[in-house]
Structure 1
Amino acid sequence: MAQMMDDIEKSMKRIHAGDIVKGKVIKVNEDEVLVNIGYMADGIISKEELSDDENIDPRDLLKPDDEIDVVILQVDDGEGNVILSKKQADQVVVWDELNDYLASGTPFEVTVKEVVKGGVVAPIKGIRAFIPASQLSVNYVEDLNAYVGKTLKVKLIELDKESRKVVLSRKEVEKEERELQKKEIWKTLKKGEKRKGVVTRLAKFGAFVDLGGVDGLIHLSDLSWKRVLDPKEVVAVGDVVEVYVVDFDEKKDRISLALKDIKEDPWNESVKKYKVNDIIKGKVVRTTNFGAFVELEPGVEGLVHISQITDKHIAKVTEVLSVGDEVKAKILEIKPEEKRISLSIREAEDGASEEVMQYTNNEEDGVTIGDILKDKLKGLKF
């Protein structure tokens, strides 16, 4: 019996307080974890020595047969139990792991715990790691609180064990992911196709849309068939949109997009709807030195040359017309292939005068000039 006990004792590893050993989880409950460390007695990890998170349930962190690193706190607590700490072991082992991540550039996952000045904190096995706001995304981050509780794939970009400085970047991972996506998009891009994207930025001349790794531009004129002066009239940053690929040039890294449906060009219908000599109503949407553009309907505009505005001589269009004015005009010419309609306000007015004379010569009983002009001159500018 004595020999047997001696053999058992020799087969057992010798442990000392402060040692880091590997163990296998035997049992887990809400208060503690029982671990086999290859010693004559099993080890116990209390909830407090499991994690820095006081509210964690051990059963959410470990399960039987998990292999873990632990620190020996006490070889014997007076009742024959070995007291262990997982969180202290993690803080020792984690520096080796972090060095490996830095050397290899391998991405890994962390969960953001809180917002601090200039960024967010994400603990790594008890080590406080910092993600600067500028490293959270390739895009500008307005609300840091939106990241709290989120699990992010990051890269280690700065490490100093002595000062316990750990700096992470989600931006670097995103940049690599976008490069892969970008290559795939260039391979599959086709003119005229429809794609989904997210509006990332607005400019005076249009809106930029992320197609999933590469940005395309919707020019103002391609946001809608109606005249658009500011992209905010149609889209906002963050909007998910369906766009048409108008053109692209991989060498110049340029993609032209359209939000308006290229098959629903209102000019196609205007050919059937409008005829030369028709008198139409419209709104002045733009004035230039040579004339005024009048919107007949969203997406269809005609030009009234300065010489066709009035019989009087005028030096400037704005002497007679202003943006927003409603006018009547006569269609002089339609060139659908050039998307051009020539209009005349002057001839629309002359036409009304001729009609007045016709009614007057006919001497229709009970009809006054006012009755005749009521509809004909409505909206005319003099």
Structure 2
Amino acid sequence: MEEQKDVTMKEFIESIEKSMRKINKGDVVKGTVISLNDEEVLVNIGYMSDGVVPKNELTFEGEVNPHDILKAGEEIFVYILEINDGEGNVLLSKKRADVVKNWDDLEEAFEKKSVLTVKVKEGVKGGVIAFIKGIRAFIPASQISTQYIDNLNNFVGEELKARIIEFDKDKEKLVLSSKEIQLEEKEKSKEKTWNSIKVGEKVSGKVTKLMKYGAFVDLGGVEGLIHINDLSWKKVNKPEEILSAGDEVEVFITDLDRSKNRISLALKDVKDDPWKNVKYKTGEILEGKVVRLLEFGAIVELEDGIEGLVHISEISDDRILKVDDVLKLGDKVKVKVIDINNEGKKISLSIKNASNPYEEELKKFNDTEEGFTIGELFKDLFK
């Protein structure tokens, strides 16, 4: 009878041992949170003794309170650090189990080319280090941005959208590219912009760079050019007089050529065209300012946005070889309107005739065989 009891007890112990999970150091197992306090979490892992997760093994996010991330009854994956922590408990780590599981998730993300969000931890030679789900990843300098990067440390602490471009679980190698995502987003934005803009529309943009011939404006993934002549109705010598890189501007679309990826813009409003209100008459004497000197003449500004040409032959009765022998930039001069072409927005002027408004009448007098008195010649002027 005593022997039968011994056999029964032995069988009972064996049955318990068989029901217990076999665990090894380095295994990842599922367990249930039994209880937790400010320092550790007690977990039932189906073993003869429970497991303990110290709070420093809960997460890679630094110092945390176990109550903030877990609760009793919750199922979690844990990594076996030690079978016996010295007090009869199994020493566990949740954060290391997460890493093992996260490698599997990242492998899937690599295969699907998913977009991930990572936080840059530090700048190193040739790139930056980021962490994603507790796993260290490297972003080469050439894969951080579509733009030139002067200082990689400027990205420390920043969150970036990235894609895995190299994955090796055995070597724990993870290489990411943020540039790839930026290029894709830029292409989508570019396509959206091309499909939405029309000639004549007024749109918002940002000045990206200034050149001697004009300014480039980003309209949303695609750039347009404001030629220097379309910056203002006034004379502009260089774009810096009107704009600076980074300026937010509203511009008019004047021309589109998608085949050449070309957009022409104007900062000046066509409705403000000063030529619409030009009321000059042929023969009228005006005052203007010399704004440009050319080989064949001078450009004289009559008012904002309205300029006329004084041909070299109309500067003086004397023979002139070089315009700048007679005129200088900024000179105030009197000019006579010789011809007006409103459609072509051109005015022909004369300086030499403006100095003698009665030249035509005097010429008639000199060409007439019969003599007339001055009073008779200008009688209509004195009425």
TM-score by length of 1: 0.78
1:167 to 175, 179, 183: 175
Among candidates 243, 249, 268, match of residue 241 of structure 1? 249
- Name the count of aligned residue pairs: 353
The correspondence for 1:200, drawn from 208, 233, 242, is 208
SS of 1:236's partner is coil
Q: 1:193 to 1:158 in 2, by over 3 A?
A: same
Contact 1:282 / 1:328 at 8 angstroms: preserved in 2? yes
Task: Measure how far apart 1:6 and its partner are.
Answer: 7.4
* Structure 2 residue ranges without an equivalent (≥5): 1-7, 361-373, 375-383
1:351 and 1:27 map into 2 onto residues whose CA distance is 107
> 1:22–1:69: 8 Å Cα contact kept in structure 2?
yes
- Is the 2:39–2:66 contact (alpha carbons within 8 Å) kept by the matching residues of 1? no
Kindly state the Cα deviation for residue 219 of structure 1 after the two structures are TM-superposed. Answer: 2.0
Structure 1 counterpart of 2:105 = 97
Q: Which moved more, 1:88-97 or 1:253-262?
A: 88-97
Gap regions ≥5 residues in structure 1: 355-360, 362-382
User: Which structure's CA Rg is the greater one?
Assistant: 2
Residue aligned with 2:272, SS: coil
Query: Contact 2:81–2:92 at 8 Å: present in 1 too?
Result: yes
Deviation at 1:305, TM superposition (A): 1.2
1:221 equivalenced with 2:229 (yes/no): yes
Letter in 2 for 1:338: G
Asked if the contact 2:275–2:306 (Cα under 8 Å) also holds between the matched residues in 1, the reply is yes
Q: Does 2:81 align with 1:76? A: no
Aligned partner of 2:189 in structure 1 is 181
Is the contact made by 2:38 and 2:67 (CA closer than 8 Å) also made in structure 1? Answer: no
- C-alpha displacement at 1:157, in angstroms? 1.9
Q: Is the 8 A contact 2:225 2:265 kept in 1?
A: yes
> Deviation digits for residues 18-62 of structure 1, max 9, x if unmatched?
1112446677776555555455655443343344554x4357983
- Aligned twin of 2:329: 323
Q: Is the 8 A contact 1:135 1:168 kept in 2?
A: yes
Q: Quick check: 1:57 aligned with 2:59?
A: no
1:348 aligned residue = 354
- Residues 345 and 86 of structure 1: is their aligned pair in 2 closer, same or farther, counting only changes over 3 Å? farther
Q: State, as a whole percentage, how many aligned pairs show the same letter.
A: 54
Would the aligned equivalents of 2:26 and 2:81 in 1 still touch at CA under 8 Å?
yes
Match of 2:304 in 1: 298
Equivalent-residue separation in structure 2 for 1:88 and 1:199 (angstroms): 49
> 1:325 is aligned with what amino acid?
D
Q: Describe the SS at the equivalent of 2:256.
A: strand
Q: CA RMSD in A?
A: 3.6
Q: 1:238 deviation in Å? A: 2.8
Q: What TM-score, normalized by structure 2, do the two folds share?
A: 0.77
SS state at 1:157 partner: strand
Q: Which amino acid counterpart does residue 203 of structure 2 have in structure 1?
A: R
Conservation of the 8 A alpha-carbon contact between 1:130 and 1:166: yes
The corresponding residue for 1:46 is 54
C-alpha displacement of 1:108: 0.9
- Structure 1 residues 31-40 or 103-112, which shifts more? 31-40
After superposing the two structures, state which structure 1 stretch, 299-308 or 28-37, moved more. 28-37
